[in-house]
Amino acid sequence: MQIPPKLLEILRNAKRVAVLTGAGISADSGIPTFRDAQHGLWSRFRPEDLANAAAFERDPKLVWGWYEWRRRAIAGAAPNPAHAALVTMEHRFPSFMLITQNVDGLHAAAGSRSMVELHGNIMRNKCFAENIVVENGIADSHDPEAPPTCPHCGAFLRPDVVWFGESLPEAAMLAADKAARECEVFFAIGTSAAVMPAAHFPRIALESGAVLIEINRDTTPLSGAAHAVLRGPAALVLPHLLKSTWPGH
Ligand code: APR
């Protein structure tokens, strides 16, 4: 893939960079994206029908079982070259912020530190009643498929992720908004840019005068507004972009 020379010059001179990632960056680690069909047993459900508090209250075992299935899929996954390229970028640019919608923890596993997890982290649990993170719940020996319970109050534990209809963590939102307003270059990588408020950030960056670069396998609502669209799998495109920007590094 030929990278436009103007884009290479912009990246070589950039000081402040922000990135929004979505499920597409983890696809190359073997984790199905949201908009890909759900597999096997879960194919008859839509994520929206499971990832919400009402569904959990109605059938805690079903929702917990779905997350356990997703956790097992993630446990076998490793960060891919796109995750690694973002760690390189974090060290390369004087100011860098990674904003992720992903809950799989692969950015942290790859070594990203300047990062906000807008939608939480599937590997953490919190008390459904008290909304506080709980390390070790109490498993129900009579029903191993039931969610564990909170050692403080006995309520079920739930994954520490943002469910549909819930607000996003305020600190993460403020950090993401600041990064989008202050950056010179904003990357949207592997996201369908379909879900608000996360999908606002590329627009905020554009309105603030940043150069918007999209890396995606397919066209999205952002593609027409981006200054540059690099079409293809992130695990190939992002490392290639870095090698083209800084040959020999
Ligand atoms: N490389 C780059 N992009 C890819 C790849 C890949 N290998 N594979 C898929 N994609 C693209 C798809 O074309 C799509 O545009 O990644 C995007 C994935 O989109 P979604 O599945 O909608 O995931 P995401 O954008 O993260 O969804 C946002 O919606 O369901 C909620 O909370 C959930 O965080 C999620 C949010």
pLDDT in tens, 187-231: 999 999 988 899 999 999 999 999 999 999 999 999 999 999 999
Given CA atoms 43, 47, 49, 55 in this order, what sign does their dihedral have?
A: positive
Residue closest via CA to ligand 1's atom 7 equals 233
* Parallel/antiparallel/unpaired status of strands 228-231 and 211-216: parallel
Average pLDDT value over all residues in the chain: 94
Residue closest via CA to ligand 1's atom 30 equals 34
**How remote is the CA of residue 248 from the centroid of ligand 1, in Å?**
31
* pLDDT, tens digit (0-9, with 9 covering 90-100), for 32-72: 887 665 666 677 788 889 999 999 999 999 999 999 988 99
CA distance 147 to 157: 6
**How remote is the CA of residue 114 from the centroid of ligand 1, in Å?**
21
**Ligand 1 atom at minimal distance to the Cα of residue 162:** 32
Tokens of 106: 């692969």
Place of tokens 């369908």: 192
Give the H/E segment covering residue 113.
Answer: none
Domains and CATH numbers, the chain: 5-30+79-119+167-245 (3.40.50.1220), 40-76+126-161 (3.30.1600.10)
Is the pLDDT assigned to residue 17 strictly greater than 70? yes
**How remote is the CA of residue 143 from the centroid of ligand 1, in Å?**
34
Of the candidates 102, 107, 105, 101, the residue with the CA atom closest to the CA atom of residue 85: 107
Pocket (CB within 6 angstroms of ligand 1): 22-24, 27-28, 33-35, 47, 101, 119, 190-192, 194-195, 216-218, 220, 233-234
Q: Which positions are catalytic? A: 119
